[in-house]
């Protein structure tokens, strides 16, 4: 049976050899222009509603970064009523102008007092920055944090709206978004758990360099150019993002190693998945690998279930789940690839098949845009969920 699900609002499967354009490119992923005018100070930003406008005042911190720019795009495409927008960022971004719903907005220096005057703050910041910003914002706006700073804090909900959206009701001012690789995995595990029950999960991730930031993407580009120009392998890394060259190479090492030989990235997959699914004892093991791809994380997942799964039924279960698209037709070489999913907001599943070594095993290939689906769309989705529940308003 051919599986190429594409319901309303979902991405249609490409025909063989007809890949969609790589848009947005990692070099031009958000509407902005550099400003020759001196950067606006926070004191010049006036947060005033227009008449009886019921919209929210929203701030995006880290707006000029890879994730921040995509948060702005996802926010623009959402139905959230935004009456005032504040964009703040790193010194390199300050002074730039970015477009949102037909209007230009300057990126300004982050100012806690200004952030306290908005209704919601979306943080696209490193964990150490989030840890500095969240405490002084306490008692003020709802904060949605995309970093790892508070994910495993028992008092902070860790949310993927399609999986555990109601958890936002428990927030005490901060809601955390999971790691990008965790998001795409739990979106697939959740419907399978409800149908068959989960007994064990084994995952190997193939993660793009954009997960490590701009410097990592530039290092990959530089090493590829040198290799192609010289015709010789690059044996020494041309940058500080990775301990080894990444061009035409694989590195089975993401984040720091722990005492038991796993990396912190692998343990994020284990601990965050258990928290989101509410299965604290679920056996999970992971291997995380960095691959020479600019955007898009891929995962090979083995799921062992309580009930014996049927492959065709499992495809139907996944295809009917929110945010999931099934591209799975091996005879026509239909399966998701990172180059196909860049710029798309869904999680894509293919290569669904039974495990030959276990009657209760199911194997899947799962791919998603780690910057968009794996961070930005989830953050905006959390805010939408909170708004629809009346937990945040202007």
Would you call 225 helix, strand, or coil by DSSP?
Answer: helix
The residues carrying an active-site annotation are 180, 297
Q: How far is CA 375 from CA 122, 144, 276, 351, in A?
A: 11, 11, 15, 25
pTM of the model: 0.89
393 within a domain of the structure (yes/no): no
pLDDT value of residue 7: 39
Statement to judge: residues 60 and 140 lie in one domain = yes
Statement to judge: residues 173 and 186 lie in one domain = no
Domain residues for 38?
7-177+375-388
Round to whole Å and give the CA distance between 106 and 104: 7
Question: Beta strand 32-33 with 82-89: parallel, antiparallel or unpaired?
Answer: unpaired
Statement to judge: residues 257 and 322 lie in one domain = yes
Six token digits for residue 130: 């989030």
235 within a domain of the structure (yes/no): yes
Angle between helices 311-319 and 180-196 (to 10 degrees): 120
pLDDT value of residue 357: 96
Could you give the dihedral angle defined by the CA atoms of residues 366, 14, 26 and 149, in that order, rounded to the nearest 10 degrees? -20
115 within a domain of the structure (yes/no): yes
42 within a domain of the structure (yes/no): yes
pLDDT value of residue 51: 47
Statement to judge: residues 186 and 40 lie in one domain = no
Statement to judge: residues 106 and 67 lie in one domain = yes
pLDDT value of residue 4: 54
pLDDT value of residue 52: 54
pLDDT value of residue 92: 87
Statement to judge: residues 170 and 317 lie in one domain = no
Say which residues have a Cβ less than 8 Å from residue 331's Cβ, sequence separation at least 6.
Answer: 2
Statement to judge: residues 251 and 316 lie in one domain = yes
2 within a domain of the structure (yes/no): no
281 within a domain of the structure (yes/no): yes
Task: Show the low-confidence residues of the chain (pLDDT under 70).
Answer: 1-53
Q: Structurally, how many domains does the chain consist of?
A: 2
Six token digits for residue 375: 């961070």
210 within a domain of the structure (yes/no): yes
50 within a domain of the structure (yes/no): yes
Statement to judge: residues 91 and 191 lie in one domain = no
Q: Is the dihedral of CA 334, 77, 94, 178 positive or negative?
A: negative
Statement to judge: residues 187 and 168 lie in one domain = no
Statement to judge: residues 195 and 160 lie in one domain = no
Statement to judge: residues 67 and 158 lie in one domain = yes
Say which residues have a Cβ less than 8 Å from residue 230's Cβ, sequence separation at least 6.
Answer: none
pLDDT tens figures, 232-255 = 999 999 999 999 999 999 999 999
CATH number at residue 346: 3.30.360.10
Statement to judge: residues 161 and 219 lie in one domain = no
pLDDT value of residue 105: 96
């Amino acid at each position: 049976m051919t599986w190429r699900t594409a319901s309303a609002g979902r991405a249609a499967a490409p025909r063989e050899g007809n890949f969609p354009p790589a848009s947005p490119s990692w070099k031009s992923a958000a509407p902005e222009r550099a400003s020759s005018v001196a950067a606006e100070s926070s004191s010049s930003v006036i947060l005033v509603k227009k008449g009886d406008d019921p919209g929210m005042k929203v701030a995006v911190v880290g707006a000029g970064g890879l994730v921040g720019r995509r948060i702005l795009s996802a926010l623009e495409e959402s139905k959230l009523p935004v009456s005032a927008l504040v964009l703040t960022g790193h010194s390199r971004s300050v002074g730039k102008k970015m477009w949102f719903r037909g209007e230009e907005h300057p990126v300004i220096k982050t100012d806690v007092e200004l952030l306290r005057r908005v209704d919601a703050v979306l943080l696209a910041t490193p964990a150490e920055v989030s840890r500095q910003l969240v405490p002084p914002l306490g008692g003020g706006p709802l904060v949605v944090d995309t970093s790892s700073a508070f994910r495993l804090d028992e008092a902070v909900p860790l949310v993927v709206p399609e999986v555990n959206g109601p958890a936002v009701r428990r927030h005490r001012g901060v809601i955390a978004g999971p790691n990008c690789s965790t998001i795409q995995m739990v979106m697939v595990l959740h419907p399978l758990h409800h149908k068959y029950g989960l007994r064990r999960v084994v995952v190997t991730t193939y993660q793009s360099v954009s997960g490590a930031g701009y410097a990592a993407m530039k290092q990959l580009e530089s090493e590829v150019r040198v290799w192609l120009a010289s015709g010789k392998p690059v044996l020494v890394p041309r940058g500080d993002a990775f301990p080894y060259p990444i061009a035409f190479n694989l590195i089975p090492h993401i984040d720091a190693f722990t005492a038991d030989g796993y990396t912190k990235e692998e343990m994020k997959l284990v601990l965050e998945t258990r928290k989101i699914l509410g299965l604290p004892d679920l056996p999970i093991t992971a291997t995380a690998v960095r691959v020479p791809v600019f955007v898009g994380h891929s995962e090979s997942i083995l799921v062992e279930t309580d009930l014996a799964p049927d492959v065709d039924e499992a495809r139907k279960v996944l295809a009917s789940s929110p945010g999931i698209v099934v591209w799975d037709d091996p005879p026509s070489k239909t399966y998701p690839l990172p180059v196909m999913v860049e710029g798309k907001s869904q999680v894509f599943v293919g290569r669904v098949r039974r495990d030959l070594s276990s009657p209760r095993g199911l194997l899947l290939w799962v791919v998603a845009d780690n910057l968009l689906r794996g961070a930005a769309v989830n953050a905006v989705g959390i805010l939408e969920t909170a708004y629809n529940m009346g937990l945040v308003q202007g």
